[in-house]
Chains A and B, each alone.
Chain A
């Protein structure tokens, strides 16, 4: 333990150095404290999360719910669709071409169009956020099914596993490691999309909080929002990995091939 700590000291140097320099420069007025308030002040200000008057608690919950709803639908539809299209090479290759075109388009661009259709509703927000994660889930599910050992599929065929048994017994568990990696990637895209949409077109949420506080130059509150978004990002990546590695210990071996 002591030795591990002794070797890992550089881990703390970077963050401590940056935060300390920021704090000192800001306190000494070298960088303008109105724009770069000292980190300690931001931390103290972070108490507004629990202050009902600021409404920030509600914004966090709104963002979280949107992220969770989006990822839920992305996984549900993406896995089903991904497995369905592997049934035919024509479907798989054709869909691949379509998705390759759609993938690099930022999901938020579909927001104007979806608000034409649905108005400025929660539905429009979630559907916009869904675009990229859904594509990611389909692609990773297809890759997962492709990674299943051919012999396994043939054995299943010979023993007459078809329909639901083939789907839940072989295809889903076989593709699971790739699907889980897909969920991790999708979570990242979901967070980006939800925050971006909230910045332009929602009446609540962290993105809206960030943007509106920036516009009235309440900079410290803006930093608090950034801090919480950073924490959400960490939870979606490092936190997700910790949970997934525990639940699917064999995932690590496959992961290298996917990312």
Chain B
């Protein structure tokens, strides 16, 4: 067996065994079906709800909120992160604010945002935005700091000043760290968004799980949780596909190492 096939086998053996055990033990009635529905039934429910039920609408709403929150967080977060990594005064100005708000659970701000923006889309988008925003500021700042100073010196001597400094020197230098930060930022956006929907929204993936829970629709609860996990995997996959396009000069081995970071 080639090493990569072997690694793949190692990565998937346990998950597949677990899924098989789940499927057979629930089919055989070893586990209480009220709490542990049959795996294939969960998948059937998920597909059925997506096609016929409200789940499709919920999912589209969640994705739409996620995109808005992430786009806003990425643009503002990278801008502020680069500024505070580059200039010490900016760093000192925003440091107390990021230090206080970064560890604050953003879900606790949901009531406040509902007061400000009303019960519309705004409150959920902003709650998710707030999570990704601080995450992206902090990781971008870190990548800017990690750029070796001799690289900056050399670049300046070769005439990378003004806007060229950012487009030709700084962004290529921080790109790997930046992409990793954006990936993490998008994942945290998703986590907070679904949690916020669970707590206080009428529609959306999180709200659907809450609703199903109140109606004791166990299969739908599971279907929702599986979908949330799949969305998280899709984010990772998307960044893995985008990375070689944005960073053609990076060797695959380096890329894998960068992508593995949690």
Closest residue of chain B to A187 (Cβ to Cβ) is B103
Residue B254, interface by CB 8 Å: no
B56 CB within 8 Å of chain A: no
Of the stretches B12-20, B46-54, B160-168, the one at the interface is B12-20
Q: Which of B95, B214, B222 has the most CB of A within 10 A?
A: B95
Chain B min CB distance to A125 (Å): 14
Q: Does B159 have its Cβ within 8 Å of any Cβ on chain A?
A: no
Contacts of B222 in A (CB 8 A): 113
Convert A93-133 into 0s and 1s, putting 1 for each residue whose CB lies closer than 8 angstroms to a CB of B: 11111101111111011111101110000000000000000
Q: Does residue A11 face the partner (Cβ distance < 8 Å to B)? A: yes
Inter-chain contacts of B81 with A (CB < 8 A):
none
Q: What residues of chain A lie closer than 8 Å to B224, measured between beta carbons?
A: 109
Given contacts A14-B96, A115-B213, A188-B103, contact A110 B225 (CB under 8 A): yes
Interface segment out of the listed A20-28, A151-159, A164-172, A229-237: A229-237
Range of interface residues on A (Cβ < 8 Å) = 35 or more
Q: Which residues of B contact A115 (CB under 8 A)?
A: 213
Cβ–Cβ contact A112 & B10, under 8 A = no
Query: At the interface, yes or no: A195 with Cβ under 8 Å from chain B?
Result: yes
In chain A, residues 127-152, which have Cβ atoms closer than 8 Å to a Cβ of chain B? Answer: 139, 143
- Which B residues are in CB contact (< 8 Å) with A222? 111-112
Please give the number of chain B residues whose Cβ is less than 8 angstroms from any Cβ of chain A in the complex: 64
B6 nearest CB neighbor, chain A only? A89
Query: Is B218 interfacial (CB 8 A cutoff)?
Result: yes
Residue from the list A14, A104, A238 in contact with B231, Cβ < 8 A:
A104
Chain B interface, >50% SS class: helix
Q: Is A196's CB within 8 Å of the partner chain B?
A: yes
A116 to B214 Cα, complex, angstroms: 10
Cβ–Cβ contact B100 & A234, under 8 A: yes
A71 contacts B by Cβ under 8 Å: no
A211 in the interface, Cβ–Cβ < 8 Å?
A: yes
Contact A95 B14 (CB under 8 A): yes
Partner of B104, one of A35, A104, A112, A230: A230
Known contacts: A18-B97, A35-B116, A113-B218. The answer to whether A195 contacts B210 by CB under 8 A is: no
- Given A11-B92, A106-B194; A97-B15 close (CB under 8 Å): yes
CA distance A128 to B63 in the complex (A): 25
Decide: A13 and B210 in contact? CB cutoff 8 A. Answer: no
**Bound state CA distance, A111 and B210, in angstroms?**
9
Q: Kindly state the separation between the CA atoms of A199 and B197 in the bound complex, as whole angstroms.
A: 12
- Chain A positions within 8 Å of B69 at CB level: none
Q: Is the CB of B209 within 8 A of A112?
A: yes
Assuming A91-B14, A105-B229, is B191 touching A210 (CB within 8 A)?
no
Looking at the complex, which one of B10, B94, B195 makes contact with A106 (CB distance below 8 Å)? B195
Nearest 6 pairs of A and B residues by beta carbon: A112-B213, A94-B14, A104-B232, A233-B103, A214-B111, A10-B92
Residues of chain A at the chain B interface (Cβ within 8 Å):
8-15, 18, 35, 89-91, 93-98, 100-106, 108-113, 115-117, 139, 143, 188, 191-192, 195-196, 199-200, 207, 210-211, 214, 219, 222, 225-226, 229-230, 233-234, 236-238, 259
